[in-house]
Amino acid sequence: MFRSAHNRSENYNNTLGEYQIKKISFLRRLVVDGFDAVPAGHNMMALIEFDITEARKILKAQKKNSKKVSLFSFAVKSIATALNEYKELNSIRSGNRIIEFEDIDINVPIELNSDGEKFVHQIVVRNAAKKTIEEINHEIDMARKQYQQFGDAGKEDKWVLRLMRILFILPKFMRTLILRKLVSNPFNVKKMSGTTFITSVTTIASGFAIPYLGGPRAVSFALGGVTKKPAVVGQDILIREFLSMTVIFNHDIVDGAPAARFVKRLKKLIESAAAFK
């Protein structure tokens, strides 16, 4: 409900206009607490455009054949494949220790709806490098359906929701201390939220997306928009489709040279549509 401003000054009333007072939801407060608890790290970013013309053609063809695939699941699979080849980037730092993990567990934020309120909830696609694009897409879709039906995004998600209920009754400083203690342990980070993070605004924005920077992981990703632009292909200038992606490296773990090699490999995987082969 909108309210009208009450003040002796009519001009002030006109300037202020009508307004709403909304209470910040606990889920949003918990997100802010999580940001406060995570160490900032020292980051470097790469803003890259990938030619996804061939990948989009294959996606459209597979959808016509009733396969459940998406550009996002293709990107997740491509990133997981590259990380599987560059395991030093599948790492989490804790003080003077860096834990390099074998499994590529990818944290994916999904938008859910609870009592008419939309919010973002994170799920983890485990062993993503060993799954197909269709399997990854199915897992993300099933997490959404599971939450709408049962109030959790799967068996693994239940203990996270129990933790959230405990945090709900605690004051902010205690929530922050608990979250800080949890994220200081690389094994807890992997268990709760995977070894890397991928978010996407592909369907709602153009250009690059610069996400929140922080955390103990070696690398994280943000998919931006898809745009059409002219490009030189062989001796010709053709209209191609490009995906914008921001790759954020934790410089405490990764140096420039291995970061550049990883990006070069990821570019080749995406532009050749290798994940479909």
pTM, entire model:
0.82
- 3-state helix, strand, coil split of the chain in percent (to 5) is 45, 25, 30
Question: In this structure, is residue 30 part of a structural domain?
Answer: yes
Question: Which mean pLDDT values do the consecutive 10-residue runs of the chain (277 residues) have?
Answer: 50 66 70 66 90 96 92 97 97 91 94 68 92 96 80 63 72 79 86 91 75 81 93 92 94 93 97 94
Q: What is the pLDDT of residue 90?
A: 97
Give the range of the structural domain holding residue 230, as residue numbers without chain letter: 22-276
**How far, in Å, CA of 260 to CA of 277, rounded?**
25
Q: Where are the beta strands (DSSP E) in 71-146?
A: 91-94, 97-100, 106-114, 117-125
Question: In this structure, is residue 249 part of a structural domain?
Answer: yes
Burial 144-160 (b: 16+ CB within 10 A, else e): bebbeeeebbeeebeeb
Give the largest CA-CA distance in the chain.
72
Question: Edge-to-edge strand order for the sheet containing 196-200?
Answer: 43-51, 236-250, 219-233, 196-200, 106-114, 117-125
Least Cα distance to 199 among 106, 93, 104, 91 occurs for 106
The tokens 């001009």 sit on which residue?
A: 11
Q: What is the pLDDT of residue 170?
A: 79
**Domain of 242: which CATH number?**
3.30.559.10
Question: In this structure, is residue 245 part of a structural domain?
Answer: yes
Q: At what angle do helices 256-271 and 71-85 cross, to 10 degrees?
A: 140
Q: What is the pLDDT of residue 42?
A: 83
The count of C-alpha atoms lying within 13 angstroms of the C-alpha of 231, restricted to the half-sphere facing its C-beta, is 13
Q: What is the pLDDT of residue 19?
A: 72
Question: In this structure, is residue 4 part of a structural domain?
Answer: no
Question: In this structure, is residue 162 part of a structural domain?
Answer: yes
Q: What is the pLDDT of residue 119?
A: 67
On whether the CB atoms of residues 133 and 140 are closer than 8 A, the answer is: no
Question: In this structure, is residue 16 part of a structural domain?
Answer: no
Q: What is the pLDDT of residue 14?
A: 62
Question: In this structure, is residue 145 part of a structural domain?
Answer: yes
Question: In this structure, is residue 169 part of a structural domain?
Answer: yes
Total domains in the chain come to: 1
Rounded to a whole number of angstroms, the CA Rg of the chain reads: 21
